[in-house]
């Protein structure tokens, strides 16, 4: 685990919420200089309170859902900003009492003691496109849930789920309605299909804009990822915008860990007690490489044979996870070196 090294004379811990933030400013000796609650997240009032210490001040807050505006405000005010990794801040959660006042004080203490595990501050100019990608992903997941629900309802009635008929929803609806006699069942199917069609429209709208943005913002890396079997236009830009800059990962192990493709271990007295940290990292990257692995083994003959051997030896779930991790390794070195995808190298390497 890495820790941020503070070099300023004063350190400010902020316990940030949607409509209020508790602020604690400390000097290097741990003396509390400001410790107050700021209603409405009033930034101007905050600047007034820290004015005597602003010349040498570092600000830290946890990576909650609403940290974007605080990071941008600190950047505009030329204040060093540190985003603390919430899952690694065990010192915040320890203790008999826990409240906003105590949390802000602990953050300031940890910062001055150089014990803040930093999270990545994603660049503001790239956030809108990443938000579109995540919105599209959310719609895809919700649509998948509805598609599954339609088939489950048929199974519940003792029917064989109708074949989907590709992208033509009308054909699928006709096949489903032909199986039902009860008008209420038919109405339920019609309602769900209307929602699914709405998702189809919005997903396509988002995809069109995302591809336009990809061609404008991404150059070499975008085209490199498109050489990977199983990674199309949308999946390529999803991976690129979730990574942001491959240079921020010193080693491939760091990258695989961030992509949730490896787990940590718990050991004591030389014995491994179990695995941990499976949910630490980027869930969107884990999903993207999982999708890429499924498509890659389906359409690349060489990888299909390799994936079949993996699944026979390790099982379907573990085999797909290994293939996803190998694809992530390949992508890491492709982006680092500027090379195209090589299936033979992917099979030759081992984790």
Looking at the fold, whether 153 and 166 belong to one and the same domain comes out as: yes
The pLDDT score that the predictor gives to residue 351 is 42
Same domain, 100 and 132: no
**Could you say which of 217, 246, 266 is where a domain stops?**
217
Query: Which one of 102, 121, 140 terminates a domain?
Result: 121
Same domain, yes or no: 316 and 262: yes
Contact 82, 58 (CB under 8 A): yes
pLDDT at position 211 is: 84
Measure the CA–CA gap between 303 and 324, rounded to whole angstroms. 12
What is the pTM for the complete model shown?
0.85
Note whether 121 and 20 are within 8 A (CB): no
- Least confident range from 34-38, 111-115, 263-267: namely 263-267
Regarding whether 141 and 112 lie in a shared domain, the answer is no
Is 223 within the bounds of a domain? no
Last residue of a domain, one of 217, 244, 279: 217
Kindly state whether residue 5 falls inside one of the protein's structural domains: no
Query: How many CB atoms within 10 Å of residue 219?
Result: 10
**Same domain, yes or no, for 114 and 150?**
no
Q: Which phi and psi (to 5°) does residue 26 adopt?
A: -130, 155
pLDDT(280) > 50: yes
Task: Output the six-digit token pair for 343.
Answer: 């299936």
Residue 228 lies in a domain: no
Q: What is the secondary structure of 271-304 as a DSSP string?
A: EEEEEE-TTSS-HHHHHHHHHHHHHHHHH-HHHH
Q: Are residues 202 and 273 in the same domain?
A: no
Taking only the tens place, the pLDDT of each residue in 140-176 is 999 999 999 999 999 999 999 998 877 788 899 999 9
- 22 and 84: one domain? yes
Q: DSSP letter at 119? A: P
Instruction: Identify whether residues 212 and 311 lie together within a single domain.
Output: no
- The reply to whether 111 and 152 lie within a common domain is no
The residue to which tokens 């919005």 are assigned: 202
Task: Tell me how many domains the chain contains.
Answer: 3
Residue pointed to by tokens 């902020």? 14
Residue-wise pLDDT tens digits, 297-330 = 998 888 999 999 889 998 988 889 999 999 999 9
State how far the Cα of 93 lies from the Cα of 15, in Å rounded to an integer: 13
Structure tokens at 38: 């700021």
Residues 103 and 152 in one domain: no
pLDDT score of 70: 97
Which pLDDT band, with edges at 50, 70 and 90, does 233 fall under? Answer: confident
Q: What is the average pLDDT across 108-126?
A: 94
CATH of the domain at 61: 3.30.420.40
Distances (CA, A) of 193 to 185, 188, 277, 288, 351: 12, 9, 39, 26, 43
Please indicate, yes or no, whether residues 113 and 130 belong to a single structural domain of this protein: no
In terms of residue numbers, what domain contains 212?
A: 126-217
Q: Kindly tell me the sign of the dihedral angle through the C-alpha atoms of 214, 220, 224, 226.
A: positive
Residue 11: closest CA among 57, 63, 61: 57
Task: Give the mean model confidence (pLDDT) for residues 86-103.
Answer: 81
Angle CA(92)–CA(263)–CA(273) in degrees, nearest 5?
Answer: 80
Mean pLDDT score across all residues of the chain: 90
With respect to residue 1, please indicate whether it lies within any of the assigned structural domains. Answer: no
Same domain as 300, residue 277: yes
Backbone angles phi, psi at 250, to 5 degrees: -60, -35
Output the furthest CA–CA distance in the chain (Å, rounded). 78
251, 237 in Cβ contact below 8 A?
no
pLDDT-above-90 percentage for the chain: 72
Is the pLDDT at 348 greater than 90? The verdict is no
For residue 146, give the H/E element and its range.
Answer: helix 127-156
């Amino acid at each position: 685990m890495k820790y941020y090294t503070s070099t300023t004379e004063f350190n400010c811990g902020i316990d940030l919420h949607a409509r209020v933030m508790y602020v604690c400013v400390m000097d290097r000796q741990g003396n509390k200089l400001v410790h107050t609650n700021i209603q409405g997240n009033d930034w101007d009032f905050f600047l007034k309170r820290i004015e005597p210490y602003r010349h040498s001040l570092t600000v830290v807050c946890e990576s909650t859902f609403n940290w974007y505006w605080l990071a941008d405000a600190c950047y505009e005010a030329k204040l060093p900003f540190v985003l603390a990794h919430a899952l690694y801040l065990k010192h915040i959660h320890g203790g008999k009492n826990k409240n906003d006042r105590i949390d802000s004080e602990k953050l300031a203490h940890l910062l001055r003691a150089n014990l803040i595990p930093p999270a990545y501050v994603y660049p503001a100019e790239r956030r809108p496109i990443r938000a579109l990608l995540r919105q599209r992903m959310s719609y895809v997941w919700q649509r998948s849930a509805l598609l599954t629900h339609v088939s489950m309802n048929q199974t519940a009635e003792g029917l064989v789920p109708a074949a989907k008929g590709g992208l033509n929803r009308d054909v699928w609806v006709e096949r489903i309605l032909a199986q039902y006699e009860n008008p209420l069942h038919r109405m339920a199917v019609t309602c769900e299909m209307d929602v699914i069609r709405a998702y189809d429209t919005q997903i396509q709208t988002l995809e069109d804009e995302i591809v336009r943005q990809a061609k404008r913002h991404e150059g070499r890396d975008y085209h490199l990822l498109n050489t990977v079997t199983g990674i199309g236009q949308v999946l390529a830009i999803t991976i690129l915008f979730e990574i942001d800059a491959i240079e921020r990962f010193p080693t491939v192990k760091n990258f695989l860990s961030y992509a949730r493709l490896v787990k940590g271990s718990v050991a004591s007295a030389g014995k491994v007690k179990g695995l941990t940290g499976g949910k630490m990292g980027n869930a969107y990257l884990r999903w993207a490489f999982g999708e890429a692995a499924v498509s890659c083994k389906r359409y690349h003959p060489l990888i299909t044979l390799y994936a079949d051997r993996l699944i026979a030896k390790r099982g379907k779930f573990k085999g797909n996870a290994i293939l996803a991790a190998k694809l992530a390794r390949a992508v890491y070195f492709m982006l680092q070196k500027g090379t195209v995808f090589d299936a033979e190298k992917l099979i030759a390497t081992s984790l």
